[in-house]
C-alpha cells in the first residue's frame, strides 16, 4: 500500500484492532505462533486490495469498521500461520478441514480412490510454496484473504483442482482431427448432405463432434455444474453449497446451459456437416440410439 493514506490505514486504529484480535485468537490456538506484525501486514494487504488507493481518509474510516467486523479473523489467523510455516498451525488446519477437503473431493470425482488422490493433492498443493515474480515464495493457503468462509474457499479450490486433474488425465484428441476424419467420411458417403438416413454410427459421430464443439464454449463452472448434476447425481442444493450460490441459481444455470448447448449443437450440425435444418432433430434422435454417445467423456475433455 504505497500511498500515504493507505499507510495511515495500518497505523494506530488498525493496529489496535489487529492486536486485539490477535490476542484473543492466540488464546484459542495456544500452540500456534504468529508474529503480530506479520499478521498486521497480512490484514493491511487484504484491506489494500479491497479499497481504492485514492480513497479519502473519511471514506476509509467509514469502511474500515464494517470491513473488520466482517473479516473471518480466526480462519485468517490460522491460514496466515500455516503460510508462515508454523507446524502447529498445519496440524490444527488438518484437524479442522481435512474432512471438508475429502467431502469436496468426493463430490468432484468418480470414486473413493480418485477422491483420496484429489484430497492428497489438495493438501500437498496447500503446503508447497509457489514462486512469485518478486522472488518471494508463498504457499497457496496464503492466498486466502479472510473474506468469506475458509470452508467455502477450500471447496472452490478443490473443484478447480478436480477440473485440472481431469483435463490432464484425459488423452487429448484435437477437435480438428475428429472433424477432419468425420468430414472425409461424410464426403465419401453417397448421401452426404442429402439426408440423415439410418446410419446410426455416423449420426452419433456427427453429434459427438458438434456436442464437443458446444461444450468447449462453456466456462469451467458451467461444465462442473453439468458434470455434478447429470454424471455424479449431486442435487441442486448440494451443488449450491459447494459453489456458494443458491440452489435456484444452479437450476437457472442448468436450464440456460441446456438451451445454449442445444442451439450450439444444432447450428454446428447445420453449418459444419451441412445437415438440413428439418433433419437436425432426427439426427439427434438417431444419435441417442448409439451407446457410445458418452457425454461424460466429452465433459471431461
Least confident of 178-192, 227-241, 257-271: 178-192
List C-alpha distances in Å: 178 to 30, 173, 174, 181, 202: 60, 7, 7, 5, 13
∠ Cα 225 226 227 (to 5°):
90
Which residues, 6 or more positions from 31, have their beta carbon under 8 angstroms from its beta carbon? 88, 92
**Distance in angstroms (rounded) separating the CA atoms of residues 16 and 51:** 20
Average pLDDT, the chain: 75
Which residues is 130 bridged to in the sheet? 138
Cell of 132: 512469485
Cα(20)–Cα(71) distance, rounded to whole angstroms? Answer: 14
Are 206 and 187 contacting, i.e. CB atoms less than 8 angstroms apart? Answer: no
Task: For 132-170, write each residue's pLDDT tens digit.
Answer: 444 455 678 988 999 888 988 888 888 878 777 665 554
Helices within the chain (DSSP H only): 4-9, 12-28, 36-50, 57-70, 73-83, 87-107, 112-127, 150-169, 175-188, 200-215, 220-226, 236-243, 247-273, 280-287, 295-299
- More confident site: 265 or 57: 265
C-alpha cell at 64: 474500515
Cell of 75: 480462519
Q: Where are the beta strands (DSSP E) in the chain?
A: 129-131, 137-139
CA distance 235 to 222: 15
272: Cβ–Cβ under 8 A, 6 or more apart, which residues? 179, 183, 209, 210, 213
Residue 138: phi and psi, rounded to 5, are: -140, 140
**Spatial CA neighbour of 286 closest among 184, 197, 209, 195:** 197
Distance in angstroms (rounded) separating the CA atoms of residues 165 and 300? 10
Give me the sign of the Cα torsion angle 157, 159, 162, 166.
negative
pTM for the model stands at 0.53
Whether residue 207 contacts residue 287, with contact meaning beta carbons closer than 8 Å, is answered with yes
**CA count, 13 A, side-chain hemisphere, 10:** 19
Confidence of residue 182 (pLDDT cuts 50, 70, 90): very low
pLDDT in tens, 39-81: 999 998 888 777 655 445 555 666 677 788 889 999 999 999 9
- pLDDT for residue 289: 55
Q: Domain extents for the chain? A: 4-163, 173-299
Q: What is the pLDDT of residue 186?
A: 40
In the block, residue with C-alpha cell 470425482: 109
Amino acid at each position: 500500500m504505497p500511498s500515504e493514506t493507505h499507510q495511515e490505514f495500518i497505523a494506530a486504529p488498525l493496529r489496535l484492532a489487529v492486536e486485539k484480535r490477535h490476542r484473543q485468537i492466540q488464546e484459542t490456538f495456544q500452540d500456534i505462533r504468529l508474529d503480530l506484525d506479520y499478521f498486521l501486514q497480512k490484514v493491511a494487504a487484504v484491506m489494500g486490495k479491497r479499497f481504492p488507493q485514492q480513497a479519502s481518509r473519511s471514506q476509509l474510516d467509514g469502511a474500515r469498521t464494517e470491513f473488520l467486523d466482517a473479516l473471518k479473523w480466526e480462519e485468517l489467523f490460522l491460514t496466515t500461520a500455516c503460510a508462515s510455516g508454523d507446524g502447529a498451525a498445519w496440524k490444527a488446519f488438518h484437524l479442522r478441514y481435512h474432512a471438508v477437503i475429502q467431502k469436496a473431493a468426493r463430490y468432484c470425482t468418480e470414486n473413493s480412490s480418485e477422491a483420496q488422490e484429489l484430497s492428497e493433492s489438495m493438501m500437498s498443493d496447500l503446503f508447497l510454496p509457489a514462486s512469485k515474480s518478486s522472488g518471494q515464495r508463498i504457499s497457496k493457503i496464503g492466498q486466502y484473504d479472510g473474506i468469506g468462509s475458509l470452508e467455502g474457499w477450500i471447496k472452490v479450490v478443490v473443484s478447480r483442482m478436480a477440473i485440472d486433474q481431469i483435463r490432464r488425465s484425459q488423452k487429448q484428441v484435437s477437435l480438428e482431427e475428429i472433424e477432419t476424419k468425420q468430414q472425409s467420411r461424410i464426403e465419401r458417403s453417397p448421401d452426404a448432405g442429402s439426408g440423415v438416413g439410418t446410419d446410426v454410427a455416423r449420426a452419433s459421430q456427427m453429434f459427438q463432434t458438434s456436442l464437443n464443439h458446444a461444450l468447449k464454449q462453456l466456462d469451467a463452472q458451467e461444465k462442473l455444474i453439468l458434470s455434478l448434476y447429470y454424471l455424479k447425481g449431486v442435487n441442486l442444493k448440494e451443488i449450491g453449497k459447494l459453489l456458494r450460490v443458491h440452489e435456484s441459481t444452479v437450476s437457472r444455470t442448468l436450464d440456460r446451459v441446456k438451451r445454449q448447448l442445444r442451439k450450439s449443437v444444432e447450428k454446428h450440425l447445420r453449418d459444419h456437416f451441412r445437415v438440413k435444418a428439418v433433419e437436425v432433430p432426427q439426427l439427434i434422435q438417431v444419435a441417442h440410439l448409439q451407446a457410445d454417445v458418452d457425454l461424460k467423456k466429452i465433459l471431461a475433455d
